[in-house]
Amino acid sequence: MTIVIASIAAHRQAAGLVALADDGRLSDHMRGLIEQARTNPVRAAELIVVLAETVAALQPVKPAEELDPAYLRKAHAAYNAGCRLPWAIEGERDYQRLKKRNQRARADKKAAA
C-alpha cells in the first residue's frame, strides 16, 4: 500500500477543477487531464487523492439528534485508518466521549453494588 501525500500544486489544481465543475466547464478540460495522466502519473495520482478527499469531506456528518452507532463505528474506523477529514475527526471525538461515558457509568454501577 502506497500513501500519496498531495502537493500544494495538486491541491490548487483540484480546487480549480472543482470550480470548473461548478461552472459546468469541466468537460472542456478533459483532454488536458488525460495528457497530464500520461506525462505526469504521480501528479495525476495526487490529484485523484485530493479530489477523493474533497468528496469525502462533503459526506453527511452526524445525525442531528442522537448519535448513530453506525456513524460512530464508521468514523472510528476511518480515523484509525488514518483519515483526518473533519467528519472522521469529529466522529472519533464523539466515539471516544461516548466510550468514556459508558465506562464511567459501568464503574458507578459497580461501585454502587
- Residue 37: what pLDDT? 92
Q: How confident is the model at residue 2 (pLDDT cuts 50, 70, 90)?
A: low
Residue 82, sorted as left (phi over 0), alpha (psi -120 to 50) or beta, turns out to be: left
Render pLDDT for 3-40 as a digit per residue (tens, 0 to 9): 767 888 888 898 888 888 878 898 999 999 999 999 99
CA distance 18 to 51: 8
Residue 95 corresponds to which cell in the numbers above? Answer: 466515539
Residue 73 corresponds to which cell in the numbers above? Answer: 463505528
Render pLDDT for 71-104 as a digit per residue (tens, 0 to 9): 888 889 989 988 888 888 888 999 999 999 989 9
pTM value is: 0.50
